[in-house]
Chain A
Amino acid sequence: MSGILLPGGSEMASRGKIIFAALFGILYLVFGITMILSSVIPALAEQTGPYFIPVDPAGGFVLCVIGAVFVFAYRELSRTSGDGPAFLYIGMALSVIFGIVALISLGAQGIEIMIFGEGEAWDPLQLAVPMLYLAFGSLAGLSVWGRAFLSDLTGA
């Protein structure tokens, strides 16, 4: 392939990326599957509720998709094929995007309860869902590794 511009790539960074991909791949998949299963198995829902894992099959599906992207990233990174970093960056980007979706969605619910809810109290802890808190990890990842890759896209 002619001239692939790939940012980053010292040994340390690559090891870090592989671990990150594997870790977040597993996390997202586990949370995702749990969320889906707990919507059909009430007993499971009771177990996981206290751990800030809501019952949400659609959200669970989304988390599984992100997890899959990270798993692909892990696979490609360990094979050192050119695509590895791409999967990683997309995984992180999706993670952040959905983190924002979760923030806005839950936040809007909160606003509605507070303004129109006639005195109902809204518990900010409602915001603590995996789709949101896992995104912080990706945010960190992107700021460390993603700068060069993303700067290609800004402007115009």
Chain B
Amino acid sequence: MIMESMPLSFLSPGSDATVMEIRAGHGLCRHLVSMGILPGSRLSVVCADRGSLIVSVAGTRYALSKGMAMKILVGQIEVKAQ
């Protein structure tokens, strides 16, 4: 089940999430879309130190600053307890 959305910058390494919304200007949105970051796409967090992140989307790694990560709202995918 998907939880409520929060900025990507708050996720910890190893989490998977689904993009819910992107709060950015037209050009930036389009750019992100072509990289695979758009509402509905799934990403996982590889590294998360001090707000800046490296995420994995469709097999590719991207580094984002905190500022960028704050614009991407995601819903964390809850892992079922074993």
Contacts and interface: CB of A to CB of B under 8 A. Distances in A.
Contacts of B44: 2
A2 B44 CA distance: 10
Interface residues of A, number: 2
Interface residues of B, number: 3
A2 B46 CA distance: 11
Interface string A1-44: 11000000000000000000000000000000000000000000
Contacts of B16: 2
B39 interface: no
Say what secondary structure dominates the interface of chain A.
Answer: loop
Interface in B39-67: 44
A1 B45 CA distance: 10
A2 B14 CA distance: 8
Interface string A27-69: 0000000000000000000000000000000000000000000
Nearest to A4: B14
A145 B65 CA distance: 34
A2 B16 CA distance: 9
Interface of A: 1-2
Interface of B: 14, 16, 44
3 contacts: A1-B14, A2-B16, A2-B44
